[in-house]
Amino acid sequence: MPELTFAEKLLIARKQLDLFQYEMAERLGVHPNSLTKYERGEGKPHAAVVRMFDLLCEQQGIRFDDYEKASNSGATDKGAAMKIVLAEKVSPATLAVFQAEPGWDVKTHDQLPDGLPAALADADALVVRSAVQVDDELMAHAPKLRVIGRAGVGVDNIDAEAATRRGIVVMNTPGANAVAVAELAICLMIALARKLPAANTSMHAGKWEKKNLQGSELRGKTLGILGLGRIGLDVARRARGFGMEIIGVDPFVSAAVARENGIAVVPMEELFAKADYLTLHVGLTPQTHGIVNAKTLATMKKGVRIVNCARGELVVEADLVAALKSGQVAGAALDVFTVEPPKDSAYFGLDNVILTPHIAGSTAEAQEAVGIQIAQQVREYLKLGVVQNAVNLPSLSHEEYVQLAPFIDLAGRLGSFLAQAGKSGTPPQQTKGGLVGGPGLESIALIYGGALAEVKTELVRNAAIAGLLAGSENVNRINAAAVAAERGIRVHEEKEESHRGGAATVLTVVLHTAQGESRASATVIHGEQPRLLAFDGIDVETPLEGTLVVCRNLDVPGVIGRIGTILGQQGVNIANFALGRERLNANVAGKPVKALAVVQVDEPVSESVLEALKVIEALLEARLVKLTNGN
């Protein structure tokens, strides 16, 4: 009787032990990336790793006999037969993953004579890329559907909320194209440095303009990386080979991970001021939208070159065009645009701009990798019930999920609030919300009080981490803990049966950075309304939603009135004004007491509002916090 592979055993063991990848990696003494490769069947594990795994299984009483019997009987057991619908063209290697399973009925995109809805009537799994729109109406034709696999990162074409309601797992393949994107970013830097597009054009025109095409080397230049997720780190590793000095900004990468990759983590303004080349690798959030604008471009080194393979909306296009024309920016290479495909773009005709049609992830290897990866993920879910890279899966019963849903939402909001308002190494008025500089986040502590101490809190924890890491790419409530581990951030959880004060159920999140500690507590009232209860030692009750102006100030007369007056002068309407002050020094004669004001305002609010508030002498700092549903 053939045995299960090591990859299959790993997945089974992780399911039985209810461990995330990073947790299993810690138990086996390997890096999380190595564990990911083992689970995909890539590479042979070291004998020591196998011994550690066998010992763990023995200690935990994990046996694989039943799974091996089920695997062998799959060809004759009708219950093991599965129907897989591949709604878009896939590679032969992707198809082979499914066809290797005995008894599985695999339908490709060209084998659906009656259309996709009809094919889904008895399907167990659906695999798509980006063209097919998987909405609630389509899912209504698939009563047996258990999993939807997206061969790629984005899931904009899949209604994940509708899938959740129907109990369908939605999976994607984050990181599978990281190498492709990183390589294009390096390629575009070289093209800018050596003026390759102009050289190619002049040669095709029959010209020999060698003197006009003198370029520069990457060696010794400073590369600024905005966002140190998988792609940003891959760029850093490759840039080191060119002898570049690498600096980066990402508050959610530990100092240890940065050091391992030869990156000096610096404040945002230092990154802009020092970079000879700036490459963008952050996700799109309210805080990163338009982060490259006239103001930040003016702070950059004259002659900087900018590469964007992330999201077009990170750049204010009109401001970049002006900087390119003035010479403030020597060149730009853009693979992404605010509107795709761009029409009548101001970039057209600029000879110091390289434009590519969103091809960063479009390599044969990347497309093959995402196809094989999603096929393996879907197969392991259908065979073993092991979920990988799900974007919507609640590990709770329906009743538990309904009860916990308000606190999952609360956790995301609280994490996002701390990411934008918590302590950092950069003066807050000079940042764009949550993406700030400094050595980065070292650890996160979550304290569950009251009823939260008695329930499963994995999704609450992950929602809080996802809110904190919202500036990073591809972070959601399913993979948040693994992403935190990958970035070297420790996560600690505590449960308290009771909590002081009037709220029966309280969630507290504490961030530890080199600059100190930031702490916030919150609860849900009336079953659905998120409320902030305290922030950095000061009790304050305010709705945790919408747009907030968070002001720290000395508790002296006139501050509250001046905040209200200035907001009014700026045309900002106040929806709620909450106040609090610290108790620690309240009775110490001569020592100023610090106070906190959290002002909920109506949109629109710009950074200029914070600038206007600076005239208040007793104001220590002001930050703009934007919270949306699903943070």
Active-site annotation, residues: 311, 340, 358
The number of residues in the chain equals 631
Determine whether 331 is exposed, middle or buried from the number of CB atoms within 10 Å of its CB (0-12, 13-18, 19+): buried
Contact 226, 279 (CB under 8 A): yes
Closest by Cα among 530, 546, 523 to 626: 546
| 289-305 burial code (b ≥16 CB/10 A, e <16) | bbbbbeebbeebbeebb
Q: For the chain, how big is the Rg over CA atoms in Å?
A: 26
Cis check for the bond before 342: say yes or no (omega within 30 of 0). Answer: no
Place of tokens 């945002």: 268
Closest by Cα among 503, 497, 509 to 465: 509
* Pairwise CA distance, residues 495 & 164, whole Å: 28
The first and second tokens of residue 258, run together, are 């940065």
Dihedral sign for Cα atoms in the order 294, 299, 301, 306: negative
Place of tokens 């032969």: 92
The first and second tokens of residue 334, run together, are 């853009």
Contact 242, 268 (CB under 8 A): no
Q: Residue 66 is which amino acid?
A: D
Neighbours of 64 (CB within 10 A): 15
User: Which H or E run contains 294?
Assistant: helix 294-299
Neighbours of 600 (CB within 10 A): 19
